[in-house]
Amino acid sequence: MMIGGIKMACLRKGVISVFFVSLFLAASVLQAEVKREAVQYYDGDVPLKGYLVLPDTIYATGQTPAAILVHEWWGHDEFIKEAAIRLAKELGIVAFAIDMFGNGRVAKHPEDAKRFSGEILKTKGLREKRFRAALKYLSSHSDVDKEKIVALGFCFGGSTVLDMARLNLPLSGVVSFHGGLDSKIEGGKIASRILVFVGEHDTLIPKEERERFQNEMRQANADAELLVLAGARHSFMNPRADEYKKEFGLDMGYHQRAAELAWSGTYAFIRQLFPRDKRIVEEKPPCIGCGIWDESSSVKG
């Protein structure tokens, strides 16, 4: 393991490369002011609680790119709302933290989280229905460019956004943070660009699962990147993960350096998706790698 570093496995159109980079984190130069709004939308008769964050810049520039953020198995909690605020401030895009469980439910115990997420996963088509309800709401918003929507997900949400890409929903790109990589969805061509962050010591996403995902992406000829963060465990993005570990004995933990690198990589990913969109707040990108590359580990898929 490289201390203070990140092990990265990248897939681009069937090519896998594994390399190490040092962490050089850059602070954001500019941030947009934002407006926060609790909203309600529906999946049929089921009320869903959303958290919409609108950057002030849109009022001067018209429609803007947008992001859907899907919560962990804990539900529509403060972490996913804080993530939406951060994304909108950093990039100046619309960010929508959605509700997959209904009525804005938040689990107080892992057993509740297991039950809430199980209701979604065990009911055929329900996860897609809930996501489509959020996508429909966001796409119809007057400030959103519906042709420029990405999806970010954490844990349960990470596996959700990957499956939405597998189902070829109209998403420009998806980013999964410590989300499960296996899927029951049959393979096919994937149009969305994919970025995946997992922790090196995430026992819920072992090396064998990462390898299966790599093979799947090769077969789908997907434009996908899988980045394995050195030293990080499950839920490394969530500052509350250490509390959950202590209270419930869960094998997880917050990793600040890995989280900041993952955020920086996500900002760069979204800017690359929409390179000509002047509405996105610019910043000097972090030095990721700085020329360090292990060419010997590149293999053809």
Q: With CA atoms as reference, report the closest residue to 140 among 86, 87, 63.
A: 63
Sign of the CA dihedral 14, 15, 19, 21? Answer: negative
Which residue shows structure tokens 């400030």? 143
Q: pLDDT category, 149, cuts 50, 70, 90?
A: very high
| pLDDT mean across residues, the chain | 85
- Integer Rg of the chain from CA: 18
- Dihedral sign from CA coordinates of 231, 110, 80, 120: positive
Whether 297 has a pLDDT exceeding 50, the answer reads no
pLDDT in tens, 221-262: 999 999 999 999 999 999 999 999 999 999 999 999 999 999
Confidence of residue 1 (pLDDT cuts 50, 70, 90): very low
Q: Give the C-alpha distances (Å, rounded to integers) separating 128 from 124, 161, 183.
A: 9, 10, 13
Angstrom CA distances, 4 to 177, 242, 258, 261, stand at 19, 19, 9, 11
User: What are the structural domains of the chain?
Assistant: 5-300 (3.40.50.1820)
Helix axes 126-139, 156-166, angle to 10 degrees: 80
What is the pLDDT, as a whole number, of residue 61?
A: 61
C-alpha pair distances (Å), 56 with each of 93, 126, 198, 267, 280: 9, 34, 33, 19, 12
Question: CA–CA separation, 148 vs 204, rounded Å?
Answer: 32
Whole-number pLDDT of residue 56: 79
23 half-sphere exposure, CB direction, 13 A CA radius: 21
Q: How far apart are CA 47 and CA 13, in angstroms?
A: 40
Label residue 281 by pLDDT band (50, 70, 90). Answer: low
14: left (phi over 0), alpha (psi -120 to 50) or beta: left
Exposed (0-12), middle (13-18) or buried (19+): which is 166, by Cβ within 10 Å? buried
Distance from CA of residue 112 to its chain's centroid?
23
CB 276, CB 40: distance < 8 Å: no
Query: Is 80 exceeded by the pLDDT of residue 283?
Result: no
* Residue given tokens 């990039």 in the structure block: 91
Rounded CA gap, 145 and 231, in Å? 38
Cα gap 154→83, rounded to integer Å: 10
Give CA–CA dist 247/241, Å, rounded.
10
Q: How many Å apart are CA 215 and CA 222, to the nearest integer?
A: 10
